[in-house]
């Protein structure tokens, strides 16, 4: 009797600004372990080591290529879209990774503990054209929690990474 190999677990690229945490490696290991708890294989951007002999720009290019390759190899991208350096705004690298995954037709999930719509959360004041942020730009008002390009590309789950993984596991069974 031959036994079929167990099915491959879906590979999840873990996008987000978590790579900038002081404990990024330990936190990434926790994210990867959480993926395993829900039946996924986690791919954390810091799982690969940057060659030490590269200068800054070449290190950056190497990291870019490694992340692109990891996204290509993933079945799903799960993104931390919590506010990064301003209200309502996720990390720009994460936004790029979401867009790249969308262009590849990947399944995209995201999570955010930030509640409310973008218009509620971004400091702004009324103007004749709509609400304007402190830098003088209109704040979009579509009733979404993030910019429409992210909110329409990803299924955004309120909460943390584990909440998103649970929703992903349920969503894959539906």
| CATH number of the domain encompassing residue 82 | 3.40.50.450
* 80: containing domain: 11-115+145-173
In a domain, 98, yes or no: yes
Q: Does residue 110 lie in a domain region?
A: yes
Is the Cβ–Cβ distance between 90 and 80 less than 8 Å? Answer: yes
Cα distance between residue 145 and residue 112, in whole Å: 9
Residue 21 lies in a domain: yes
> Can you say how many angstroms the Cα of residue 55 is from the centroid of all Cα atoms in its chain?
27
In a domain, 4, yes or no: no
Per-residue pLDDT at 114: 87
Give the pLDDT confidence score for residue 87 in this predicted structure.
87
Position 75 in a domain: yes
pLDDT tens digits, 123-140: 999 999 999 999 999 999
The confidence band for 174, taking pLDDT boundaries of 50, 70 and 90, is: very low
Condensed to tens digits (0 to 9), the pLDDT of residues 66-87 reads: 999 999 999 999 999 999 988 8
| 124 found inside a domain | no
How many domains, the chain?
1
Q: Give pLDDT tens digits for 8-63.
A: 899 999 999 999 999 999 999 999 999 999 999 999 999 999 999 999 999 999 99
Collapsing DSSP states into helix, strand and coil, what is residue 76? strand
Say if residue 2's pLDDT is above 90.
Answer: no
Q: Is residue 155 part of a domain?
A: yes
């Amino acid at each position: 009797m031959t036994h079929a190999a167990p099915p491959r677990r879906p590979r999840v690229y873990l996008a987000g600004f978590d790579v900038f945490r002081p404990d990024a490696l330990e936190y990434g290991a926790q994210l990867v372990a959480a993926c395993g708890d829900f039946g996924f294989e986690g791919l954390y951007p810091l799982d690969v080591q940057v060659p030490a002999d590269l200068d800054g720009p070449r290190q950056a290019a190497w990291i870019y290529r490694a992340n692109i390759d990891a996204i290509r190899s993933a079945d799903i991208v799960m993104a931390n879209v919590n506010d990064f350096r301003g209200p309502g705004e996720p990390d720009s690298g994460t936004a790029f990774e979401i867009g790249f995954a969308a262009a590849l037709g990947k399944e995209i999930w995201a999570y955010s503990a930030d509640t409310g719509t973008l218009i509620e959360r971004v400091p702004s004041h009324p103007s004749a054209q709509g609400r304007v942020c402190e830098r003088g730009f209109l704040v979009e008002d579509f009733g979404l929690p993030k910019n429409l390009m992210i909110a329409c590309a990803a299924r955004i789950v309120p909460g943390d990474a584990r909440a998103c993984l649970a929703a992903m596991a349920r969503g894959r069974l539906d």
